[in-house]
Amino acid sequence: MSLAGEVCLITGACGFLGERIIKLLLEEEELTEIRLLDRDIKPDLITSLKESQGHTKLTVFEGDIRDPELLRKSCHGATLVFHTASIIDVIGLVEETELHGVNVKGTQLLLEACIQENVRSFIYTSSIEVAGPNPQGDPIINGTEDTRYSCCLKFPYSKTKFQAEQLTLQTNGEFLRSGDKIATCALRPMYIYGEGCKFLVGHMENGMRNGDVLLRTSTKEAVVNPVYVGNVAWAHVLAAKALKDPKKRAAIGGSFYFISDDTPHMSYSDFNHEVMKPLGFGIQGRLSLPLPLLFFISFLLEMAQVLLSPFLKFNPPMNRQLLTMLNTQFTFTYGKAQRDLDYTPRYCWEDAKTWTTDWLASVLPKQREIVRAPKHP
């Protein structure tokens, strides 16, 4: 099934994933138009995309996902939406009202615009964090969409992503103004890595400050299965094709899919080391403190955050939710996506690792300058 003739809107178009989806669409398909919606459009990205746009029209919409009028304009005449825009916050830097406003309210407004403007297909980029882990750190090994798991989401980011996902899936089958029905689905990628991953740069900077030894924040046993950004983008393209297929549309609409690939299962910390080892980085052999003690310290820091909140904003570098996520075995297969979306990883682990390491090598000199720069009072 081809996406030729589609008019596609991508929110978060200049983000880590959004950019890869656009490049893949330009490489693979002959869409009529691709619309880029982002609050901060990168001129360099637009210039590079125009070099490979072919006959596909590129249109830019710059603004906030919470602007209903902007959403109506960007959705007018569109047939397909990839909704990747969201605020990612795993340490509590962003107020919950802001997270809810962008991640939940923004999604709701976008879905309403799609209904009003007759957009037939809507694909939401969810997160593995909507599945857990739960506060008890109960593991999942090679889970599926049917895996039963007791989960109580307490972290604001996880909650808002889950709420937005539910809004998306509940909208499936609603009537458009044209009388047609919208079809929606959600993709739940594992931890996404690859060229442009800011989390990897952050870990690299911390390692530099520690004498080129990466800090261990997860035990070796807490294995997860990261996924390469190119494969996540490919899953989005395949989901769009599947929703366009009349034979598959009804079955896929209203469903969510875990997206992983053939990246080896390992802990977050060991994964960081795997892609940075060729750059000369080592890694701590064990956690800096026993895990129970780290949980206790995180608890004290969270209490301090609550007590200080009337006077100043204090964000602990670690919290119990993040500590649980980093130290829980939590892996999922992509079997359902393979069956329903014809998804198989487009890029192998060896290539993904090489490209990621090469990109990190390209930004290494600049990051060393940042780390060595004197801090001004």
Q: Which residues are catalytic?
A: 157
In single-letter form, the type of residue at position 256 comes to F
Tell me if 261 sits within 8 A of 349, measured CB to CB. yes
Helical spans, DSSP H, in the chain = 16-28, 43-50, 68-75, 96-99, 106-116, 156-171, 198-209, 229-244, 246-252, 268-276, 291-308, 320-326, 335-341, 349-372
CA distance 109 to 30: 29
CA distance 93 to 101: 15
CA distance 207 to 185: 39
Per 3-state DSSP, the chain is made up of helix, strand and coil in percentages (nearest 5) of: 45, 15, 40
Q: How many CB atoms lie within 10 A of CB 220?
A: 12
- Residues with Cβ < 8 Å from 356, sequence gap 6 or more? 193, 194, 195, 197, 200, 228, 275
Quick check: helix, strand or coil at residue 143?
Answer: strand
CA distances from 352 to 147, 248, 272 (A): 28, 30, 13
Cβ-based burial of 344 (10 A; exposed 0-12, middle 13-18, buried ≥19): middle
CA distance 81 to 62: 16
